[in-house]
Structure 1
Amino acid sequence: LDHILTECETPARTLIWQLASDLWPETHGPFPQLTFGAILGAGLLSIHTRTPDPDDSASDEDQDSEDIPGHPHPGGTCLLQILVSESAYLLWVLRCERVIQGRVHSLHSIRARWINAINRRLSIDRIVAGKIKRSLKAVKQVVRTWRGTLADEDLLPTFWVNHFEVLVGIRTPRTP
């Protein structure tokens, strides 16, 4: 399993981790280097807010409680856990299809499957927050988690989580 997730030279592994890295918002810092243990323990991964630059003119009053330097960032942590777990699962599925079933996957199909998996997870988060939990806290968590990853994010309504008639998806990662 270590080989499949971190060492294998197949294009699928390289592409999937590159897609995850490309989707990662720059506001959370660089995408972390993942070890086999970090991937297996994806549910325990966390991201902490970065310490602001001394030249930054933002005052402490402008910060959300989630943006206190050095504290866990709930949105970034959740997004990292989603990206790592979904990517690792897709790598395992693709490997099984390739080795057991003899399927050959093109880079285009791998990319499409990864984007589909992440968009499916976004849809699940929206449904859970908007229809099942129906709480402002759950909606805010979804917004925090997916901030910086959505296509045309600046054009979305304020509470896009609850507007199911609004089509929402991740922005297309830069990787070809």
Structure 2
Amino acid sequence: MPKDVPITFVCTTKFLRDTLCKNLEQLENTDWLGMSNKYALTSLVNTLRQRCAPTAFRMANSPNDTKLINLGRRGAQQLARERGAQLVIPNLDPTLELTGARLSTLTQRVAYRLIRNRRNTPERRSTVKTVQSVLLSIKEDVNEYATTQDVWLSLRTKDIRLPIRDFLWKSLHNAFRCGSFWENIPNYEDRAMCQYCGTTESMSHILVECNAPGQDEIWQMAGKLWSRKQALWEKPNLDEILGSNLRRWLSVKKKRRLFVERLWRILISEAAYMIWCLRCERSIEHADDDNWTHSTAAIKARWECTINRRLHLDIAMTHRRFGRLALDRNLVIGTWHGTINDEIALPDDWTVIKRVLVGIDPQIFDLEARG
């Protein structure tokens, strides 16, 4: 296009508009920190600054715009099939190219992150192995393409409490000192063994295999709660636990069940974290007593308290005093629908009544009753 001809970009998202018009100065001041397609965007900015005619960006807002976009995509796909991938080298003006961060607006936090990005930090072999195993499990379960970046970003979901995010992050890095970590440390080799089972301890063994009281009971109660939302229940393995935030549940019409997915994230993460806490109490706090274990009543009470506390946290977060951070009432009601005690007697919007009157059905925590 000639540089003196006006252009209007019709976009399907607000990304280009916000990046090039709203957030451009901030991004250039921080050297495009956090933008994975930095070099493509800087080349685009350089090219647009060479123009002397108006350039506009707007969202597609009519059927004709959608047809135009689809026509352009089909044309690009046809050219790609006929000519293959071609390298595009834009004609950039070096006088319009900005590099680095602006010193007058630089903060210590931004400087530290920029320095970290310049360092070539090698990946840990155990981390790569764990993440690849999680990705393989995700692709087998939900039949969709997921990337390594998706696994790490999934840990930032607001549905998971901060201590549990930290637990999942360390588990992906295999950073906990258990099992094989102690095998090569003189005089501490015995710590590699599970005190209860007598086998080599690992995160998979702790969360889904150990015979010590706690693991089986918690998953049993989690399964009973999950059965209120979804008929099928199978105890998850380690890969499914670490990738629980990426799990997708579909309806008969192949539509995502967002409420079910949210409950799955909460349930699996809370269960895994509690099993880990019980193991630490048994193996560290009571290391001197090999016969000490948690009682069934204590395990049941702690799990019941944890789930009800999480329910009440969701209810509290629907209050309007939290402004834009407040949870949508329909989201909370949809997440816990079917699990509330005497839900039929409650009003349609039970988030507005006193919390003491709303709780999880006690039958879900009954270990003696199956199903």
TM-score band, normalised by the shorter chain? 0.7 to 0.9
Q: In structure 2, what is the Cα distance between the partners aligned to 1:120 and 1:140? A: 19
- Cα deviation for residue 134 of structure 1 reads 7.7
Q: 2:306 aligns with which of 91, 112, 117?
A: 117
Counterpart for residue 44 of structure 1: 246
- Give unpaired runs (5+ residues) of structure 1: 52-68
Query: Are 1:159 and 2:349 an aligned pair?
Result: yes
Q: Which gives a bigger RCO, structure 1 or 2 (Cα 8 Å, sep 6+)?
A: 1
CA-CA distance at 1:163 after TM superposition = 2.1
Stretches (4+) displaced over 3 A: 133-137
Are residues 37 and 114 of structure 1, via their aligned partners in 2, closer, same or farther at CA, if it must alter by over 3 Å? same
- Residue 262 of structure 2 corresponds to residue 81 of structure 1: no
Displacement of 1:107 = 0.5
Q: Which residue of 1 aligns with 2:339?
A: 149
Residues 317 and 327, structure 2, Cα contact 8 Å, conserved in 1: no
Aligned mates of 1:109, 1:140 — CA distance in 2: 33
Does the aligned pair in 1 maintain the 2:228–2:339 contact within 8 Å?
no
Q: Distance in 2 between matches of 1:88 and 1:94?
A: 10
Tell me how far apart the structure 1 counterparts of residues 355 and 217 of structure 2 sit (CA, whole Å).
32
- Corresponding position of 2:283: 99
Do the aligned partners of 1:46 and 1:80 also contact (CA within 8 Å) in 2? no
CA RMSD after TM alignment: 2.1
C-alpha separation in 1, matches of 2:357 and 2:276? 29
Q: Per the alignment, do residues 36 and 165 of structure 1 end up closer, same or farther by CA in structure 2, a change over 3 Å counting?
A: closer
Aligned to 1:18: 220
Aligned-pair identity in percent equals 37
**1:127 and 2:306 matched:** no
1:35 maps to what in 2?
237
Q: Is the 8 A contact 1:25 1:149 kept in 2?
A: no
CA distance in 1, matches of 2:324, 2:341: 24
Question: CA 1:28–1:136 in structure 2 vs 1: closer, same or farther (change >3 Å)?
Answer: farther
Distance 2:254 2:326 in 1: 25
Aligned to 1:168: 358
Structure 1 residues 27 and 114: CA distance shift in structure 2, 3 A: closer
SS of the residue aligned with 2:357? coil
The answer for the alignment partner of 1:61 in structure 2 is none
User: Over alpha carbons, which structure has the higher Rg?
Assistant: 2
Partners of 2:315 and 2:327 in 1: CA distance: 13
